[in-house]
Amino acid sequence: MRVTGKLFWMPKKGNSIEEYEDAAYPVESFEVDVPEFKCAVADGATETSFAGFWAALLCEGFAEGYAMKELRKTWNDAVRQKELPWYAEEKLEKGAYAALVGLHLKKTRGKKNPFVVEATGDCCILHVRENQMLSAFPISKSEDFNNSPALVCSHEFASVDAQMQKHTTKGEWKDGDSFFLLSDAIACWALKRQEELQDLANVLQNIETQEDLNRLVDEERQLILEDGRPSMKNDDVTLMCVTVCS
């Protein structure tokens, strides 16, 4: 099974690269020949402490099969070594939160090749075949995005709630299928684009370079809709395109 991936991202307008709090794994574009493959995209909640670090741990943990308990320990051990002012210490006690979507591809000896998607929160995956969008998960309508998605917490006390909010879907991939893993701002924009123009698959597949993504995001952030809101929310943006062939 050959899996190729393109990864592009950009921070919220007005923020530096250091303030980018999305994450992905693998951390750069790739091409591999493997019988099994995992990848993920996560979106750290900006209002929580060290959310970008937590998002990165979740992505790597999903792809490499690390236990959640181990990821939480890694986060806590790392952040508690830092010298922080008292108000940051108080915020730290609440933990970090992030949305996560992960894709698991397998190649079998039979005619059917399975994939599994796990998601918590509003990062999304779009399944595209022959330039047509087959599905969107875990959110399939732009109107279903909100300001309080379910999130995975770096603290143990939230683990039960996170497990209840984790969604899973399964399917089969065929040669040439593409999967687009998106953080929430571009995911919401993408679903709205598909609802209105039905051309999303073509638009996404034409994003071949970082410059292509930068141009698209800049244009959509500046485009103001009739309701006064921008076409794409000003937030961190991450897009991973994964294409699979047997």
Write out the residue range of the structural domain in which residue 209 sits: 2-245
Domains identified in the chain, total number:
1
Q: What is d(CA 57, CA 145) in angstroms, rounded to the nearest whole number?
A: 24
For 23-70, the pLDDT digits (tens) are 999 999 999 999 999 999 999 998 888 999 999 999 999 999 999 999
Q: How big is the chain, counted in residues?
A: 246
Q: Where are the beta strands (DSSP E) in the chain?
A: 2-10, 22-25, 30-33, 36-44, 97-106, 113-120, 124-129, 132-137, 152-153, 167-173, 177-182, 237-245
Angle at 164 between CA 122 and CA 134, to 5 degrees: 45
- Residue 155's pLDDT is 87
For 113-165, the pLDDT digits (tens) are 999 999 999 999 999 999 999 999 999 999 999 988 999 999 876 555 555 58
State the pTM of this model: 0.95
For 155-198, the pLDDT digits (tens) are 876 555 555 589 999 999 999 999 999 999 999 999 999 999 99
List the beta bridge partners of residue 85. none
For 59-103, the pLDDT digits (tens) are 999 999 999 999 999 999 988 877 766 565 666 778 899 999 999
- Residue 110's pLDDT is 84
The one-character DSSP state at 204 is H
Task: Report the sign of the C-alpha dihedral through residues 81, 51, 242, 209, in that order.
Answer: negative
- Residue 5's pLDDT is 98
194-197-203-205 Cα dihedral, nearest 10 degrees: 60
**Residue 228 sits in a domain of what CATH number?**
3.60.40.10
Token couple for 122: 């509003």
Let me know: does 48 contact 121? Beta carbons within 8 Å: no
232 has a pLDDT exceeding 90: yes
Query: How does strand 97-106 pair with strand 113-120?
Result: antiparallel
218 has a pLDDT exceeding 90: yes
H/E stretch holding 53: helix 51-64
H/E stretch holding 122: none
- Residue 147's pLDDT is 87
